[in-house]
Amino acid sequence: MKIVKRIIIGFLAFIALLLVVALFIPNDYTVSVSTTINQPKTVVFDYVKLIKNQEKYSVWVMQDPNIVMNYTGVDGTVGFKAAWNSKDDNVGEGSQQIIAISDDRIDLDLHFERPMKGDDKAATIVESISANQTKVTNEFYGHSSYPLNLMSVIGKKFITDAQTQNLANLKKILEE
């Protein structure tokens, strides 16, 4: 009986420790990943502003060949919305909508239904390095309320890895 009691106390102490650690983890976080593409800024921006092109380089979209995509509005303009639905829980269901666009930046609202509900924001920033080189930065702005903010450490790594692969795929396409 003493062993069971110690196991329970140890487990509760571990949970308490995690809850205390979560107090010191920010609720809001940003993931930022960049790459350099050997193409002029206009070529890169004209490609990335079209959300439908993500079907060719986004690891999430490409993960499920049976994903159902629905589009509303004019691609590359404010208000354009891309919605997805996948039976693959790593892809899930949700949508992204262009909320602002300028000569070097696209801002998106992200809405997730499944596997977890949530609303976040993202941006793609395109900067000219030289006449034929462009820096592309993908940013993801997330929020996790306490105590779920403890999981944001894992979420940030997952998003960083995916965005890094997305940019590698984009670079390969645009430099061919």
Among 3.30.530.20, 3.30.1330.10, 3.40.50.880, 3.30.70.120, name the CATH number for the domain at 28-175: 3.30.530.20
Q: Count other C-beta atoms under 10 Å from residue 106's C-beta.
A: 22
SS3 of the chain: helix, strand, coil, percent, to 5: 40, 35, 25
Q: Count other C-beta atoms under 10 Å from residue 13's C-beta.
A: 10
The pLDDT value recorded for residue 151 is: 82
The amino acid occupying position 14 is F
Q: Which of 3-17, 49-63, 84-98, 111-125 has the lowest mean pLDDT?
A: 3-17
Give per-residue pLDDT as tens, 114-152: 888 889 999 999 999 999 999 999 999 988 888 888 888
Q: How many CA atoms lie within 13 A of 18 on its CB side?
A: 13
Q: Quote the DSSP letter at residue 149.
A: G
User: Is pLDDT of 87 > 80?
Assistant: yes
User: Is pLDDT of 40 > 90?
Assistant: yes
User: Is pLDDT of 1 > 80?
Assistant: no
Q: Count other C-beta atoms under 10 Å from residue 147's C-beta.
A: 15
Average pLDDT of the chain?
Answer: 92
55 φ/ψ angles, rounded to the nearest 5 degrees: -60, -20
The pLDDT value recorded for residue 18 is: 84
User: Is pLDDT of 156 > 90?
Assistant: no
The pLDDT value recorded for residue 15 is: 87
d(CA 98, CA 81): 7
User: Is pLDDT of 37 > 80?
Assistant: yes
Q: Count other C-beta atoms under 10 Å from residue 162's C-beta.
A: 19
The pLDDT value recorded for residue 21 is: 84
